[in-house]
Amino acid sequence: MAKDIAIKTKRLMLSPMNLEALEKKVLLMKEGELRQAYQEMLEGCRKEPENWLWYTPWVIKLKGEGTPIGDLCFKGPPVKGTVEWGYGLEEPYWGQGYMTEAARVMLDWAFSQKDVYAVEAETLSDNAASQRVLSKLDFKPTGTTGREGPRFRREKQIAPMSMVYMMLGMCCGISVGMSAGNMALGMVLGMAAGFALGTAVDSHEKKYRQRVLAGETENKTA
């Protein structure tokens, strides 16, 4: 397991809890649903150490002070391109935007991992604060209900590459055209070639995403 992972925001620092710290946390917690949840996280870390980042809590601390104010955790590695998460914040820090700030950076982290195209969550029906966080992060109701309450989903947005490749092709075409004495022709040909290549890249990415979400590929998360 990596030991020095940290993700920073303007006010916060998030880092995954190591196995020893998680074991200690579980032992010190009182019996109940919350302890059971952390126990399940611990079991996941033990059974799949290669996927510990998807099981262990990510501790949210105030930057500079180092004061723990809550945590965020995923509920296992991606399945069909989708991960689920949950989060909590200590009451004195409610209403200050900390949870939205932490969740936004962890959402970016999740989408940067291989074959993660969607994040899901569920909240208690009366947990308006948690639902506001999800709304600010553009999660949409799925119309289904889990054990805790309504479920929400946010899919990864992928920027089209056709325009990027077209601009690169234009630059290359201008350079080649100038060398050949016909800059205009080189620019047009370069733009056309770049656009065609970018469109092919976009098509391949779309098809691969659909395969992952349909469970037709094997997710290998380290």
Q: Which residue has the higher pLDDT, 84 or 222?
A: 84
Q: Does residue 221 surpass a pLDDT of 50?
A: no
Pick from 2-6, 124-128, 158-162, 213-217: least confident: 2-6
CATH number of the domain at 7-155, out of 3.40.630.30, 3.40.50.620, 3.40.190.10, 2.70.160.11?
3.40.630.30
Q: Does residue 159 surpass a pLDDT of 80?
A: no
**Boundaries of every domain in the chain:** 7-155, 162-213
pTM: 0.79
Q: Put the strands of the sheet holding 12-16 in their side by side order.
A: 7-8, 12-16, 58-62, 68-74, 82-89, 118-122, 150-155, 140-145
Read off the pLDDT of each residue in 86-94 and give the average, rounded to a whole number: 94
Report the percent of the chain where pLDDT is more than 70. 96
Structure confidence at residue 222 (pLDDT): 41
CB 12 within 8 A of CB 100: no
Structure confidence at residue 1 (pLDDT): 54
